[in-house]
Amino acid sequence: MTTRKKPKVYITRKLPEAIETRMRELFDAELNLDDRPRTQPELVAAVKSADVLVPTVTDRIDAALIEQAGPQLKLIASFSNGVDNIDVEAAARKGITVTNTPNALTEDTADMTMALILAVPRRLTEGARVLTDNHGEWAGWSPTWMLGRRIFGKRIGIIGMGRIGTAVARRAKAFGLSIHYHNRKRVSPQTEEELNATYWDSLDQMLARVDIVSVNCPSTPATFHLMSARRLELMQPTSFIVNTARGDVIDEDALIKSIRSGKIAGAGLDVFEKEPSVNPKLLKLAEQGKVVLLPHMGSATLEGRIDMGDKVIINIRTFCDGHRPPDRVLP
Ligand code: DGY
């Protein structure tokens, strides 16, 4: 009997212990125990020697890197839902399959979107800071203090009605919001009926009608700065926008100008254009209570990360067994 050689799998970031243990058992796994983000030269060395690369959203897997991959690299099994950091076309040209982890983080990301939808108009972070910044000292309740805006009965416009957008819509409906959405194509009549959702073919028209905009589409060349200065102008002065997708879907400079000039009321952002750096002007707006900022933690639950890891493992095993991996992006 011959024992099959374990695939050499290079993992760029620290993963939950349970996932690392399984990876060690199943693969010839090179782990990143101290979680230091890998440099481009380290990634080059990895693609020259590993059979499988497991990157995350913090790694830049561009054409230049893929070009340097050795012939042994056959799979990029991304530990992520989004693959905007991977040049999937360049990988396909080199005969490298790319997989991702869809669905593992749908509910968690939708929860965090809802948290921002509540946090912005109800001044959650501002209120919490009153206590922590003043060591628990506050003047007490007053009828006119810390007044936010009600969300019940308002209209939400969801940009991108995929899995996460739909999960946001379900939650928003339960909070008494009416659902509007813009997507490349309409969702099924059953889903529209379940959510009592209104489809807007024209994003511009939807933006002018809703009170809350939720960005839930992927980052692609077509969605880059989809929320441009012109589109932000279409929103109502009392409306606000939340983004748990990718920073570059919103033109961040234009967003800052819109909020500063009062053209829109605020924003809740979990993602930024130049992550991990955050525009200081956004931090200033956060101090003024106009925006709520989170450090890209929409999908950050232990359960979600384990589900993502399980998916990565299944994709690698299926691929190495000669079958089509379930979460294949390309080719
Ligand atoms: C992803 O996997 O795309 C997420 O943004 C990580 O939170």
CATH number at 32 reads 3.40.50.720
pLDDT attached to residue 4: 75
- Determine the residue of 99, 105, 220, 294 to mutate for testing ligand 1's pocket, defined as the one with the most ligand atoms within 8 A of the Cβ atom: 105
Give per-residue pLDDT as tens, 188-240: 999 999 999 999 999 999 999 999 999 999 999 999 999 999 999 999 999 99
Task: Kindly state whether residues 207 and 316 are assigned to the same domain.
Answer: no
The answer to whether position 28 is within a domain reads yes
- Give percent above pLDDT 90 in the chain: 98
Residues 241 and 136 in one domain: yes
Mean pLDDT of all residues in 260-287: 98
The rounded mean pLDDT for the chain is: 97
What is the predicted ipTM?
Answer: 0.96
98 and 111 share a domain? no
Q: Is 285 inside any structural domain? A: yes
Task: Give 178 Cα–ligand 1 centroid separation in angstroms.
Answer: 27
Nearest atom in ligand 1 to the alpha carbon of residue 80 is 2
Would you say residue 2 lies in a domain? no
- Is 259 part of any domain? yes
Please state, in angstroms and rounded to a whole number, the distance separating the CA atoms of residues 223 and 247.
11
Q: Is residue 322 assigned to a domain? A: yes
Catalytic pick from 22, 42, 275, 328? 275
Whether 168 and 27 map to the same domain: the answer is no
Q: How many domains does the chain have?
A: 2
Mutate to test the pocket of ligand 1, among 12, 15, 57, 58 (most ligand atoms within 8 A of CB): 57
pLDDT band, residue 182 (cuts 50/70/90): very high
| 240 and 320 assigned to the same domain | no
Q: State which residues form the domain around 184.
A: 106-293
Which atom of ligand 1 is the closest one to the Cα of 79?
2
Residue 1 placed within a domain: no
Query: Separation of 56 CA from ligand 1 center, angstroms?
Result: 8
**Pocket residues: Cβ below 6 A from ligand 1:** 57, 80-82, 105, 298-299
205: which DSSP letter? H
Q: Exactly one of 246, 252, 273, 305 is catalytic; name it.
A: 246
Same domain, 178 and 89: no
Spacing, Cα 80 to ligand 1 middle (Å): 5
Give the per-residue pLDDT at 331: 74
Looking at residue 3, its pLDDT comes to 64
Is the confidence at residue 330, as pLDDT, over 90? no
Give this prediction's pTM: 0.96
Give the whole-angstrom CA distance, residue 240 versus residue 200.
18
Same domain, 209 and 66: no
Q: Whose CA is closest to 82, among 103, 61, 57? A: 57
39 and 188 together in one domain: no
d(CA 128, CA 115): 14
Residue 216 inside a domain? The answer is yes
Q: Is position 135 annotated as part of the catalytic site?
A: no
Average pLDDT of the segment spanning 57-69 = 98
In the three-class reduction of DSSP (H, G, I as helix; E, B as strand; rest coil), residue 263 is classed as coil
- Is the domain of 89 the same as that of 38? yes
SS3 content of the chain, % helix, strand, coil (to 5): 40, 15, 45
Q: Tell whether 309 and 289 lie within a shared domain.
A: no
Number of neighbouring beta carbons within 10 Å of residue 24: 13
Mean pLDDT, to the nearest integer, of 51-68? 98
**Would you say 185 and 160 are in contact if contact means Cβ atoms under 8 Å apart?**
no
Task: Please report which confidence band the pLDDT of residue 120 belongs to, taking 50, 70 and 90 as the band edges.
Answer: very high
- 217 lies in a domain? yes
Buried-state track 315-327, b at ≥16 Cβ within 10 A, e below 16: bbebbbeeeebeb
The predicted structure's pLDDT at residue 2? 53
For 159-188, what is the mean pLDDT?
A: 98
* φ/ψ (deg, to 5) at 261: -90, 0
Same-domain check for residues 28 and 117: no
For residue 103, the cross-strand partners are: none
- Asked whether residue 141 falls in the same domain as residue 286, the answer is yes
